[in-house]
Amino acid sequence: MKMGRFCVIGILVIIVSAQVRQRFAYTNYTIPCVLGTSCILPCKMDPYQKNASVSWLNSNEEYLTRGKTIINPDSTYLGIEKSANNTWNLHNKNVTRNFAGTYKCEAKIGSKQMTLSVVTLVIESKPTLDERNSSGSNSKFKEGEDAELNCVFDGSPAPEIKWHRGRSMEIIEGLEGSKLNIRNVTRYSQDNYKCNASNKHGSAIRHMFLTVEFGPEVSVVTSLIRATEHENVIMRCIVQASPMGKAYWKFEGKKININKSLIYELEENQWADDIPVKLIQLKIKLIRKNDQGNYTCHGSRKDGNHEETATVQLII
């Protein structure tokens, strides 16, 4: 009879223990939290036990809270939110990168300790430019070199990067990722560029100007000009160089001093700030016999020079 009573008690203990384990089977969560915002980690006891003591622990198994009390001195932004008697949600009011990790909510009832929830926290953020590993706002390459522009962005989820070019910043179709490579770069690639990184939390951009350096190249528009005496004669030449350097006209090998001349007028027009091309126009006022001859348009820089000559002849 006693043996039967012990058996019944043993069965009841096993059943009760199984019920306790079943009731407090913990829940695993993976929660994304956005950097710089608030975030709530869930913890719920179901069914509610009034005499339970509930605590939160961090990845290092250090206690952060007991009940509604914050006990970790480094947990300035933490608090407990109780939307119901059986909830102990951990509220972080300002998420930092250090907050990433795995957190555990556990309950203690008498001598028994039970896990209520395990939360893996993933920090998400809008894109931010990695200045150290990205190209500067002005990148210079010599013509013929392989040019590379880099735009490195941090962010989670990983941002999508698109490239744009020109004053209107039209998208470069088919190009994505952190690198823009131009093999054997030419002067025609000199332009404004922009990389645009975006994810679901926001976007960031980087503006860059690609400078392609090359030596002077000069071409006269008309190599032979015929004019009648006392006619105004206009000669034009196009100078290309990056950086531009010096550009001027010479008559029979000598530089024309425009400031001291009553015969000549000079007009210079650069096509645009970002296009290394200059149009230089020389006007001979009321040409006379002594003004006919060879006029040379000259472009020079420290690393070289180039020139081209136009001939002016009077028609008799």
DSSP 154-172: EEESPPEEEEEETTTTEEE
281 and 238 in one domain? yes
CB 314 within 8 A of CB 227: yes
pLDDT of residue 261: 85
Decide if 10 is inside a domain: no
Q: Could you give the maximum distance between any two Cα atoms of the chain, in Å?
A: 147
Question: Which of 75, 141, 61, 137 shows the shortest CA–CA distance to 105?
Answer: 61
Question: Which of 207, 260, 265 shows the shortest CA–CA distance to 236?
Answer: 265
Decide if 11 is inside a domain: no
CB 41 within 8 A of CB 119: yes
265 dihedral zone (left: phi>0; alpha: psi -120 to 50; beta):
beta
Contacts 24+ apart (CB under 8 A), 111-114: 112/20, 114/20, 114/24, 114/26
137 and 91 in one domain? no
- Total tally of structural domains belonging to the chain: 3
Q: Which tokens belong to 200?
A: 């679901």
| Residues of the chain below pLDDT 70 | 1-25, 272-274
Question: Which of 267, 265, 255 shows the shortest CA–CA distance to 287?
Answer: 265
207 and 249 in one domain? no
pLDDT of residue 182: 95
> Rounded to whole angstroms, how far apart are CA atoms 100 and 106?
19
141 and 204 in one domain? yes
Cα dihedral across residues 53, 81, 33, 47: positive or negative: positive
> Rounded to whole angstroms, how far apart are CA atoms 43 and 133?
41
C-alpha count within 13 angstroms, C-beta hemisphere, residue 141: 23
Decide if 1 is inside a domain: no
Decide if 188 is inside a domain: yes
Decide if 4 is inside a domain: no
Q: Which tokens belong to 65?
A: 């809270």
42 and 119 in one domain? yes
Decide if 15 is inside a domain: no
> Rounded to whole angstroms, how far apart are CA atoms 50 and 87?
12
Decide if 169 is inside a domain: yes
Can you state the percent helix, strand and coil of the chain, rounding each to 5? 10, 55, 30
| Neighbouring-strand partners of residue 59 | none
Q: 29-79: per-residue pLDDT in tens?
A: 999 999 999 999 999 998 899 899 999 999 999 999 998 888 887 777 899
Domain boundary among 124, 149, 177: 124
Q: Which domain holds residue 143?
A: 130-213
79 and 159 in one domain? no
Cβ-in-10-Å burial (0-12, 13-18, 19+) of 124 comes to: middle
Decide if 6 is inside a domain: no
228 and 209 in one domain? no
> Rounded to whole angstroms, how far apart are CA atoms 189 and 147?
10
Residue 48 belongs to a domain with what CATH number?
2.60.40.10
Domain boundary among 74, 96, 124: 124
193 and 280 in one domain? no
